[in-house]
Amino acid sequence: MRPWVTTVAGDADLPEAVELVVIGGGIIGCSAALWAAEQGLRVALLEKGRIAGEQSGRNWGWVRRMGRAAAEYPLGIASLTLWAGLNARIGRDTGFRRCGIVYGAGSAREEAWLDGVEAEARRFGLGVTRLDRAGLADHFPGARLAATTALMTADDGRAEPALAAPALAEGARDAGAAVLTNCAVRGLETEAGRVSAVVTERGVIRCGAAILAAGAWSRLFCGNLGIDLPQVRVRSSVLRTAPVAGGPALALGTGRFGIRPRADGGYTVARRG
């Protein structure tokens, strides 16, 4: 089912030497490669399959500040600012939109949690609006929701997983990075205790540093180097609908599910938590 992840064609040739290798072409690796290339570093972004072929191409795509651990709020706030300028910065569409996000609560326990979220959001200066049943009905007409109260951040948003990491990878390439796909990194070489090269399935690239952004594979990669990286794998299912006429414009998380509108007019629906 559409939307398919935008294909990023890999470069034909492996560079001999760069200053920085980024391992993994998900949203983290593509962002790191973009940032480093923009700083003027010679960068190679190496992806074992296709760009955004794993979780970065199939997530909910919420760009959210609300409902975070306190330590994450400053990061979430800075991140939203970066997202808002990203399309102009790279001259490509990440799908970022300020669609607004709503959290609903339908039980006393959920309401207590929502009260805590509201207090924390206000403490960090977020513009939040409390909705009652009537407010929820206004924003989600016709929906039969168990939620009796909700919290809305009108300026939180979403990006399109099918577009975002590919756009960042192309942006990194525009800034001078080499982008290699179908190019798994097998290991690292070191000299005097520092990374000196990465060994890929297509040959060796000498480098001064490497960033590991291999997502769920990072623990395995580190394990091969004798480094213990505590990481939990969580499997989750997400479904996509075809375009739906007249559906809500806001993203919603309530009870056990979450929905959010996509740019193609369809919805991404998933279990929460």
CB of 57 to ligand FAD, least distance (A): 7
Residue 111 or 209 having the CB closest to ligand FAD: 209
Which stretches of 126-184 are DSSP H helices? Answer: 133-139, 164-174
CB of 108 to ligand FAD, least distance (A): 27
CA–CA distance, 54 with 27 (Å, rounded to integer): 10
Tokens 């919290």 found at:
151
Cβ pair 61, 95 in contact under 8 A: yes
Residue 52 or 136 having the CB closest to ligand FAD: 52
CA–CA distance, 28 with 50 (Å, rounded to integer): 14
Best CA proximity match to 271, nearest among 260, 259, 257, 251: 257
- Which residues of this protein are in contact with ligand FAD, per CB under 6 A? 23-29, 46-49, 53-56, 59-62, 184-185, 213-217, 221, 236, 238, 270
Residue 61 or 118 having the CB closest to ligand FAD: 61
Residue 133 or 256 having the CB closest to ligand FAD: 256
CB of 217 to ligand FAD, least distance (A): 4
Cβ pair 24, 212 in contact under 8 A: yes
Cβ partners under 8 Å of residue 163, min gap 6: 3, 6, 93, 94, 95, 263
CB of 134 to ligand FAD, least distance (A): 28
Residue 27 or 150 having the CB closest to ligand FAD: 27
Tokens of 273: 């938590």
Cβ partners under 8 Å of residue 45, min gap 6: 22, 25, 29, 30, 33, 169, 172, 177, 178, 179, 180
CB of 133 to ligand FAD, least distance (A): 26
Residue 53 or 67 having the CB closest to ligand FAD: 53
Cβ partners under 8 Å of residue 109, min gap 6: none
Q: What 8-state DSSP symbol labels residue 137? A: H
Buried b (16+ CB within 10 A) or exposed e, 244-262: eeebbebbbbbbeebbbbb
CB of 221 to ligand FAD, least distance (A): 5
φ, ψ of residue 66 to 5 degrees: the values are -65, 145
CB of 270 to ligand FAD, least distance (A): 6
CB of 267 to ligand FAD, least distance (A): 13
